[in-house]
Structure 1
Amino acid sequence: MSLLEIILIFVLQFEAGIYGEPTFYKIAGHDVILPCATASSSDTTCSSVSWLYSRDLSETFSEVANGKVLQTSPQAARRDLDKRCSLVIYNITAEDAGLYTCRHGTHSDHDSFVHLSVLTISPSPPDADPKRDGNITLECSLLRYSDLPPCEQNSIRWMDETGTVLLGEGVGYKLLGQKNCVSFLSVKRQSGHNRRYTCQFVKENNVEIEADYTPVFTDPSPDQPYIIIGAVVGMVVVLVIIAAVFIKYRKRVKEAKVTEDVQKPIQQPDELESNLTYVTVSHNQQASLEKKVEVEEVTYSAIRLQ
């Protein structure tokens, strides 16, 4: 037997082993318990059990070693073991999808495999304004072990709230098709018409898992115009009050200035006299050339009028 034949037989046996193992279908955000078929019922501490995780054949990560969750794992906070050595995963995310291997002891002879597939629905664009009408695209994805065969065409289907399977194009929707394990549906979001859409993964005519999505339209608040009007009126009232206070303040300033001018201090007599200059005028009158006339002194004074 050639080396190529040995490798081919090994690959076929490996694929038959992992593809024939159970698959758990879950929705993102839920919890799951993955059983370990090779765990011993007498080993209640799970001290000889390890769990391995791989998204594809290229790389494998250790999640649990000797019955203990490895804290080096990025997902350690959402991992746990129960009394049966089953792996418990809380709050499932898309990154949890893949192949899980339970190993008892240090050898891989009795490994058991479990697949975890995660169904997600997300709108595109994800930040679409919920207050505006318009078309959005819903993306339904089945995330799983990437080395599995592709999903069959039409294995992911859409339904409306009445249970009607959506095909082609209809009122408010348009089926954009399926690519591998991802299906796209364009829907129209309208105010007052929050329809519900369901994505299902169907395998051999059996619905393995389904998830609902409702494009939410948020109507503007009916009280919003009144709130705006109230705010404008309130602002006008505040401005009027400020203007009235300012006018009243200026009026008071003017009145105070007039009062100050009227009540200026009146000069006292002593102060007035100190500001006056007295002049003495001598008047000589000569009756004749030979006779002297006495000098008459005249004194002028200032009279203050009350």
Structure 2
Amino acid sequence: YVGISGVDETQVFCSSGENVRLSCNNALSGCTSTTWIYNYNTHSGTVELIAGGIKKTDTERHERLSLGSDCSLNIKKVTKEDHGFYTCRQFVNEQQQGADARVYLHVLHVSSSSSQSEIRSGSSVTLFCQLYYNYYLVSCVSSVGSEGLELIWVNQAGVNLQTDSRFQISFSSEQCLSSLTTTLLNEDHNREWRCQVKHRNQLKTSATYTVKYQTPTETKTPSPVTISKSPAAPTQPASVDSTLIPVSSSNSEKKSSQTTAAASTKQGT
């Protein structure tokens, strides 16, 4: 859509860990005139990411950035810190051509209150689903059917977990944060719970948390094995016995596909 002062504005939603493409809607052919800049919010300083079609290498995220053939900005493995404003501008002979094309990137992030070693049947766990977004563009609400953004927890079948008394769900509209607390059961191993972002009942993006239990250490009863050394060997003392005890082995559990992190703090936007 076209925003204030004729600036072309687009909103993009994604979840952390995904790859995302931000379109440059005012691009000129060849991309040599294209500059991409980033702002965390409207009051923060500007960071130049792409200048004259060339990627800047002095930014923290430069290794995850690339310029598409259509002058779009591609970001690999998006993090929650990537949310903010991305502006595409065109310069010819150091003169800006046309209006800005601005993209607002909103990032959904799911984390757990427990470390991987604490995830086991019978333990209580709290999952946090937070949307890092630009609050002046759209509001984050808890009521269904409103104009704002909704955060909804669902199971693998798509059923809203709000309807299941096993789960306690709380919501903070100020932080756009929904937390889900439950006591884990044996059958929860490998189970997925998904947090969805909806706007006007349309799915914008989602992020999944998969429950993974540690594999218990295999315990074996030691079986002594007696080895008799031959008295015929001239270098060995006669009749020496030794006992060998098998060593227990353990299987290590793969790390969870979801990043486990501390509870998200309040955004600065």
| TM-score by shorter chain over 0.5 | yes
- Aligned partners of 1:162 and 1:70: how far apart in 2? 44
Q: Which has the higher contact order (CA 8 A, sep 6+)?
A: 2
- Which of 138-147 and 90-99 deviates more? 138-147
Q: CA deviation at 1:146?
A: 5.8
Q: CA deviation at 1:145?
A: 3.5
Partner of 1:102: 88
Letter in 2 for 1:120: H
Stretches of structure 1 that go unaligned for 5 or more consecutive residues are 1-11, 250-306
- Which of 159-168 and 144-153 deviates more? 144-153
Out of 141, 147, 153, which is 1:158 matched to? 153
Partner of 2:171: 177
Give the match's secondary structure for 1:248: coil
Alpha carbons 1:53, 1:100 under 8 Å: kept: yes
Q: Once the two structures are superposed, what CA deviation does each residue of 1:95-147 show, in whole Å capped at 9, x if it has no partner?
A: 21111000011438511101111112111123442345311111111122365
Equivalent residues in 2 for 1:175-254, closer than 5 Å: 175-179=169-173, 180-194=175-189, 195-220=191-216, 224-225=218-219, 228-229=220-221, 232-233=222-223, 236-237=224-225, 248=239
1:72 aligns with 2:67: no
- Aligned partners of 1:247 and 1:148: how far apart in 2? 88
> How does the TM-score come out when normalised to structure 1?
0.64
Partner of 2:249: none
1:141 aligns with 2:130: yes
247 and 82 in structure 1: CA distance in 2 versus 1, 3 angstrom threshold: same
- Aligned partners of 1:201 and 1:127: how far apart in 2? 26
176 and 108 in structure 1: CA distance in 2 versus 1, 3 angstrom threshold: farther
Alpha carbons 2:120, 2:184 under 8 Å: kept: no
Letter in 2 for 1:75: R
- Aligned partners of 1:189 and 1:121: how far apart in 2? 17
Q: CA deviation at 1:68?
A: 0.4
Give the match's secondary structure for 1:22: strand
Partner of 1:118: 107
Q: CA deviation at 1:198?
A: 1.4
Alpha carbons 2:26, 2:98 under 8 Å: kept: no
Give the match's secondary structure for 2:161: coil
Q: CA deviation at 1:149?
A: 4.6
- Aligned partners of 2:156 and 2:33: how far apart in 1? 49
Aligned pair count reads 221
Which has more strand, going by share of residues? 2
Letter in 1 for 2:113: S
- Which of 107-116 and 179-188 deviates more? 107-116
Which has more helix, going by share of residues? 1
Give the match's secondary structure for 2:225: helix
- Aligned partners of 2:182 and 2:73: how far apart in 1? 39
Letter in 1 for 2:50: V
Letter in 1 for 2:180: L
97 and 108 in structure 1: CA distance in 2 versus 1, 3 angstrom threshold: farther
> How does the TM-score come out when normalised to structure 2?
0.72
- Aligned partners of 1:131 and 1:241: how far apart in 2? 46
Alpha carbons 1:157, 1:199 under 8 Å: kept: yes
1:32 aligns with 2:20: yes
Q: CA deviation at 1:26?
A: 1.3
Larger Cα Rg: Structure 1 or Structure 2?
1
Out of 82, 86, 97, which is 2:68 matched to? 82
Letter in 2 for 1:32: V
Letter in 1 for 2:36: W
Q: CA deviation at 1:22?
A: 1.6
101 and 49 in structure 1: CA distance in 2 versus 1, 3 angstrom threshold: same
Q: Once the two structures are superposed, what CA deviation does each residue of 1:206-226 show, in whole Å capped at 9, x if it has no partner?
A: 1111222222224526xx23x
